[in-house]
Chain A
Amino acid sequence: MKKRFVSLMMAGALTATALVGCGSSSGSGSDASSDSGKKDENPTAKAVDASKEGDNELSVYAWDAGFNIPALKAAEKAYQKKNPDFKLNIVETADSTEVQNRIILAGNAGDYSTLPDITLFQDHGIHQYTTNYPDVWKSVGDKDGEWDQFSQEKLSYSTINKKHYGYPVDNGAVIFAYRTDILEQCGYTMDDVTGITWDQWLEVGKTVHEKTGKYLLSMDNSGNDLPYMMLQAEGISQFKDGKASLTKNDKIEKIFEVLQKAKDNGSLLLCNSWSDYTDQSIQGDQVAGVMNGNWIIPTMQKVKENSGKWAITTLPTLSGEEGYASNGGSSLYITAACKGKKADLAKDFLHYTFGGGDGAVETYDAALTEGGVISTFAPAGKSDVYSKGVEFFENQPIYQTIVEYGTHVKEVEQSDYHYDLRTNVNTAITNLTQKDKSKRPTVKDALKEAEETTNAKMEADGQ
């Protein structure tokens, strides 16, 4: 009996190599190469069940219950003034990745009817996705938004081939927030950390760590955005002419040297994951400084004991000028699943609220108070809500300041391979900052490796 079982399993394994043949016999006669998507006109099950959805109802994918979702709720409320029966059906996804995966799946199945009417989408990913799945989103006309009232850097993401696709939600402007009480304890003021060089910053960081044990900066090590922000403040992209380019610019090398020194002298804490970054380093009160897109503010505010002890300023740069950058915003896009009258409704809704229409100031004001979402819409920035002092930040009118920061951000070359490069840069940083210094590569070699890995992928994908 045992023998038979063994020989049976063996026969199974033997046939392993013959799998391809066996697979083809079962698959013959059917169209197996239809990956590029033959259009299926049969409407299939909908993500949000269209059958139940009324004519005056729109569905939307969004993530982050503490941030984007309150903003959408604010928009729904604002639009109900114009259209009282309107209903917005918000489907919360785990994260931005889930929205992207839904697009991939629908795109590969060649059937967009599974998507909701509107999706929120990451600014850095949108170009790549519109290249690969050109029919997923509908472009909107010039008259569908008050485009000249928005930050141009922000619009550069959602404008594809000179056509507008998305309605901007949040402002990704980067802030550098410091704990003023800790700075004071170490003999510094906010002026001492504003408009300084990274070398000066390293000195401050060292003192702070020696005196208080806190880190002046922390970052998620699995999706490292630090170099992107630091380089944008210098006006430099990690891409040139569509290719990863890290080795041809001395400034890039210098930035990575700063990171290495910061890790070594106790200025920088690298966390294992995003949740460690937000939960352990920021909420766990391990840091005296936070540098990220301003959407990080609601996370900081969770530590109520530290209210009134924070202040914000600009980024240090290599030259000592004040640095401005933008990171990780998102915009709203209308999908191909939204057809006919629904499409008009969606456009009207988005124009009225996020697109700068009559309800925009109300939407953005409520989005700010409910979710801490800061817009790039200039008239909103002038409203009372924006100019109010914020208690958490020593009554600084931070929202107004952030909108102003946003206007200074320089546009830099973007790439579909933004996140691929980020992954490889993360490897470089990990190798450059590993404990055993004898195993560390030189900065040049580490950057070369990241550049080559990214470009090799680009090239191979194009084969």
Chain B
Amino acid sequence: MTKVKKNKSAIQRRLIPSYIFLIIISFISVFPFYWMISAATNRTLDVARGKLTFGNYAVENFNKLVSQTPLWKALGNSFYYAALQTILVLFICSLAGYGFELYHDKWKDRLFAVLLLAMMIPQVATMIPLFKMMSSWGLLNNVWAFVLPAISTPFMIMLFRQNSRNFPIDIMEAARIDGLSEIGIFFKIYMPVMKSTYAAAAVVAFMNAWNSYMWPKVVMFSTDSQTMPMLISTLASGYTVDYGVLMMGVLFCSLPTMIIFFILQKSFAEGISGSVK
């Protein structure tokens, strides 16, 4: 038992159950995606009857989707809102995380505890008051109505705050001696050092923004301002649903977040790891 080094094949043999388990789990994880893609290439009746193989209707479904719905407009809107929201979330929440952790005192800690409460507020409860607020500010169907309530979230502040614990304080002192202002430290030192946290936060923020549905449905109701999730839910709630077209829409709604994740996934894992220390 004390032999630490074993030959490689023996290690791999011991890992066989792990591989089998992982393959099963991965299959379950990926299968619905396969189903979504194959459904997007089939006719509605084939989808409803559970056809598994690819069909020849991808082009037709795509053409129908483009002609029946404002697909490009909705994609454009979703990108615009999600990008703006992500940038603001990253800036405001990292600034707050920076302030809470690196300048912390008793009162800031107390305030942070109070802010955490916002995590527990059910969305349905605040929908009417928030709508009233947006309406009275004249922001309905305006991108700000979409992003304002989502910019500052306790979770994001927490993510940055936890990660800031690894931030070398000595550098700050050195920078101060060099005459850098407090905000200068944030821009010139904190931001570059916290790169991977920003990447992780960007993934989460972008996904949240892209996938949000209930609130946009309340404030972004004009056809010109609708988003991808709204578009596919309209497709799904029609009086007769074309499942092939619907799945094509779902595909278009899922691709961007998947791509973002693929691009940022390495930094994502690193960024999250700082937060759970």
Contact = CB atoms under 8 A, between A and B. Distances in A.
B117 A19 contact: yes
Nearest to B139: A45
A92 interface: yes
Interface stretch (B24-32, B78-86, B174-182, B221-229): B221-229
A284 B165 CA distance: 60
A108 B241 contact: no
B239 A105 contact: no
Contact of B131 (A49, A91, A98, A105): A105
B240 A302 contact: yes
Interface in B117-156: 117, 120, 128, 131-132, 135-142
A114 to B, nearest CB: 6
A456 interface: no
B233 interface: yes
Given A278-B239, A279-B48, A299-B239, A22 B141 contact: no
A29 to B, nearest CB: 15
Which of B137, B224, B240 has the most chain A CB atoms inside 10 A of its CB?
Answer: B240
B113 A40 contact: no
A283 interface: yes
A2 interface: yes
Nearest to B222: A47
Contacts of B241: 275, 278-279
Interface string A445-461: 00000000000000000
B234 interface: yes
A66 B240 contact: yes
Nearest to A37: B132
Contact of B239 (A9, A40, A49, A66): A66
B57 interface: no
B135 A47 contact: no
Interface in B229-277: 233-234, 236-241, 243, 277
Interface in A8-47: 8-9, 11-12, 14-16, 19, 22, 34-35, 40, 42, 44-47
Given A108-B131, A279-B48, A92 B237 contact: no
B10 interface: no
Contacts of B233: 94
A284 B48 contact: yes
B116 interface: yes
Contacts of A114: 135, 140
B12 to A, nearest CB: 35
A44 B136 contact: yes
A275 B218 CA distance: 24
A284 B243 CA distance: 13
B222 A48 contact: yes
Given A8-B112, A12-B116, A15-B117, A47 B136 contact: no
A1 B141 CA distance: 44
A95 interface: yes
A105 B113 CA distance: 33
B185 to A, nearest CB: 22
Interface string B48-77: 110000000000000000001000000000
Contacts of A284: 45, 48-49
B162 interface: yes
A111 B223 contact: no
B16 interface: no
B20 interface: no
B173 interface: no
Nearest to B136: A40
Given A94-B234, A94-B237, A109 B117 contact: no
B113 A111 contact: no
Given A44-B140, A279-B241, A16 B117 contact: yes
Contacts of A176: none
Given A42-B138, A49-B222, A108-B128, A65 B112 contact: no
B1 interface: no
A165 interface: no
Contacts of B141: 45-47, 49
B277 A91 contact: no
A5 B162 contact: yes
Contacts of B221: 47, 98, 102
Interface of A: 1-2, 5, 8-9, 11-12, 14-16, 19, 22, 34-35, 40, 42, 44-49, 64-67, 91-95, 98, 101-102, 105-106, 108-111, 114, 275, 278-280, 283-284, 298-299, 302
26 contacts: A1-B165, A8-B109, A8-B112, A11-B110, A12-B116, A40-B136, A42-B136, A44-B135, A48-B222, A48-B223, A64-B238, A64-B239, A66-B239, A66-B240, A91-B223, A92-B223, A94-B234, A95-B237, A109-B131, A109-B135, A110-B132, A111-B136, A114-B135, A278-B240, A279-B48, A280-B48
Given A279-B44, A284-B45, 4 more contacts: A11-B109, A91-B223, A106-B135, A108-B128
